[in-house]
């Protein structure tokens, strides 16, 4: 029973990371109907920037803030320079461009920061919390991870729903032509969307790097699972992204704990879950779409 609790809590912690990545992908998808395969690479670069700041200033929070800011800037920059030209072209072009972005960022990270593992600090203790004498298998930092992702999600959701900027973004995603006719600067809105996605990715990077160590390819697996979580939840639904992330995190944690050679079978379990969900709901769990039948 204690084991189950420990698996659950560690699954929630990782699940929130997947949820953050999934959210960033959903943001970009909703705004631009584009899958950003470079999201993991962008998160990795901003985390490298953060670690340089932390080691020079000695302050974790300075690095944290810089990472988020860098995420915003990098997201906007990418959208303006390389993504915008691919609009109105075949959509797979944009996919290849984002893949190219990922590879380019990994190469640049190797060149400028070196390929060795970097240890990334945490803001809070990693010593486990206990109830009575029983360790729970979570630390204060894990709680911070969950809280950070939840708070960011809520802030974004509220902003989308209740501010005029959020309304503009939703309008541009709904129908860009009509939005333009209403005076909305669609191009700028798209850039903002990418900037926010960059922020979410940077957040995910900073939160997960203490557990994965930072190196040019460190976000690859996280991105794959984040993408899977987004697909499971439905790419149009932020709620779906968070749900998908949690679901995946928990399932993989249980699989790793209970199955023999579970650790190696984690991708297989993820695939199985994905297939199961998509068999029943081809557009993800929270999709509002119905498959058109004639």
Partner 1 sequence: MRRTHRLRWQAAAIMTVAAFTVAACSSGSGSGSSSSAGSGSSSSSSALTASAPGITPTQILIGSHQPLTGPAAPGYSEIAPASAAYFAYVNAHGGVYGRKIVYKYLDDGYNPTKTASVVRQLVLQDSAYAIFDGLGTPTHLAAVSFLNAQKVPDVFVASGCECWNDPTKYSQTFGWQLDYIREGKILGQYVKQHFAGKKVGFFYQNDEFGQDGVKGILDELPASMVVSKQTYDPTNTNIGPAVAALRASGAQVVMAFSIPAFIALLKLNSLKLGFNPTLVASNVGTDAITLSGLLEAFAKQGGAKVNGNQLIEGIITDGYLPALGSTDNSWITLFKKIHDQYDAKAPFDGNVLYGEAVGYTFAQAMLKAGRNPTREDLVTAIQNGIPQGPAIAPYSYSSSDHMGITGAYMGVIQNGQLVQQGPVLTTDASASGAISTYSGSEQQAPASGIPSP
Partner 2 sequence: MQTLPRRLGVAVVTAVIVWFLSVRLTTFRDFQIAEVAIEFTAVAGLTVLTGLSGQISLGNGAFMAIGGYTTALLMLHLNWPYLAALVASAVVTAVAGGIVGVAAARLRGPYLAGATLMLGVALPALAAAYQGFLGGDQGLNVVFTAPAFLGATFPLTRWQAWVSTVVALVTLVLLANLCYSRVGRNWRAVRDDEVAAALDGVNVALTRVLAFVVSAICAGLAGSLLAIVTSLVAPGAFTLTLSIALLTAAVIGGLGSLPGALWGSLLIVIVPTYVTDVATSHGLSSSVGSNIPIAAYGAVLILVMLAFPQGIQGGLHWILTLFTGPDQRTRIPRDAPAPHVTPPADEAPASHHEKEGTQ
- Please state whether beta strands 128-131 and 134-139 pair in parallel, antiparallel, or not at all (unpaired): antiparallel
Q: Which stretch binds partner 2 (CB under 8 A): 50-58, 62-70, 145-153, 285-293?
A: 285-293
Residues pairing with 130 in the sheet: 135
User: Tokens representing 247?
Assistant: 């679901």
Binding residues among 124-143 for partner 1 as defined by CB under 8 A: 124-128, 130, 135, 137-139, 142
User: Tokens representing 263?
Assistant: 């650790």
Q: Which stretch binds partner 2 (CB under 8 A): 49-57, 124-132, 198-206, 274-282?
A: 274-282
From the CB of 267, what's the least distance to partner 2, in Å? 4
**Interaction pattern, residues 171-210, with partner 2; x per rule: CB under 8 A:** --xxxxx--------x------------------------
From the CB of 214, what's the least distance to partner 1, in Å? 10
Answer yes or no: are the C-beta atoms of 256 and 263 closer than 8 Å. yes
> Nearer to partner 1 by C-beta: 86 or 122?
122
The whole-angstrom separation of Cα 146 and Cα 130 is: 18
Return the residue of 87, 123, 171, 184 that touches partner 1, per CB under 8 A: 123
Q: Which does 253 bind (CB under 5 to 8 A by kind): partner 1, partner 2, none?
A: partner 1
Return the residue of 54, 227, 251, 285 that touches partner 2, per CB under 8 A: 227
From the CB of 29, what's the least distance to partner 1, in Å? 26
The whole-angstrom separation of Cα 209 and Cα 202 is: 11
The whole-angstrom separation of Cα 190 and Cα 28 is: 8
Whole-Å CA distances, 96 to 37, 38, 77, 93, 181:
9, 10, 17, 5, 31
Q: Which stretch binds partner 2 (CB under 8 A): 9-17, 61-69, 100-108, 153-161?
A: 100-108
Strand, coil or helix: 244: helix
Sign of the Cα pseudo-torsion (96, 97, 100, 106, in order) = negative
82: contact with partner 2 by CB under 8 A: yes
41: contact with partner 1 by CB under 8 A: no
Strand, coil or helix: 88: coil
123: contact with partner 2 by CB under 8 A: no
Whole-Å CA distances, 218 to 43, 149, 222, 226, 252:
10, 20, 8, 13, 18
Please, where are the H alpha helices in 79-219? 91-113, 140-162, 164-174, 176-181, 186-212
Q: Which does 155 bind (CB under 5 to 8 A by kind): partner 2, partner 1, none?
A: none
DSSP 117: -
**Interaction pattern, residues 229-268, with partner 2; x per rule: CB under 8 A:** -xx---xx------------------------x--xxxxx
Q: Which does 123 bind (CB under 5 to 8 A by kind): partner 1, partner 2, none?
A: partner 1
Report the interface residues with partner 1, using CB under 8 A: 2-3, 6-7, 10, 14, 58, 60, 110, 115-117, 119-128, 130, 135, 137-139, 142, 210-213, 215-217, 220-221, 252-254, 256-258, 261-264, 266-267
């Amino acid at each position: 029973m204690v084991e189950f609790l420990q698996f659950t809590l560690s699954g929630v912690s990782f699940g929130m990371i997947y949820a953050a990545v999934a959210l960033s992908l959903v943001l970009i998808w909703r705004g631009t109907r584009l899958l950003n395969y470079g999201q993991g690479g962008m998160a990795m670069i901003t985390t490298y920037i953060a670690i340089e700041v932390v080691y020079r200033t000695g302050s974790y929070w300075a690095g944290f803030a810089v990472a988020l800011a860098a995420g915003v800037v990098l997201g906007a920059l990418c959208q303006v320079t390389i993504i915008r030209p691919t609009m109105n072209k075949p959509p797979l072009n944009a996919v290849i461009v984002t893949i190219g972005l990922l590879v380019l960022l990994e190469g640049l990270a190797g060149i400028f920061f070196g390929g060795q593992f970097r240890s990334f600090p945490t803001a809070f203790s990693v010593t486990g919390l206990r109830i009575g004498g029983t360790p729970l298998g979570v630390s204060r930092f894990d709680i911070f991870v969950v809280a950070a992702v939840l708070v960011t999600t809520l802030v974004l959701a509220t902003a989308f729903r209740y501010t005029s900027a959020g309304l503009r973004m939703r309008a541009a995603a709904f129908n860009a032509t009509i939005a333009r006719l209403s005076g909305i600067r669609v191009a700028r809105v798209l850039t903002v969307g990418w900037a926010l996605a960059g922020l979410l990715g940077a957040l995910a990077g900073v939160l997960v790097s203490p557990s994965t160590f930072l190196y040019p390819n460190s976000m690859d697996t996280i991105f794959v699972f984040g993408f899977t979580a987004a697909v499971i939840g439905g790419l149009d639904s932020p709620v779906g992204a968070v749900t998908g992330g949690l679901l995946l995190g928990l399932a993989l944690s249980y699989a790793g704990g209970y199955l023999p050679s579970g650790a190696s079978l984690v991708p297989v379990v993820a695939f199985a879950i994905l297939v199961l969900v998509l068999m029943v709901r081809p557009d993800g769990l929270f999709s509002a779409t119905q498959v058109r039948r004639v």
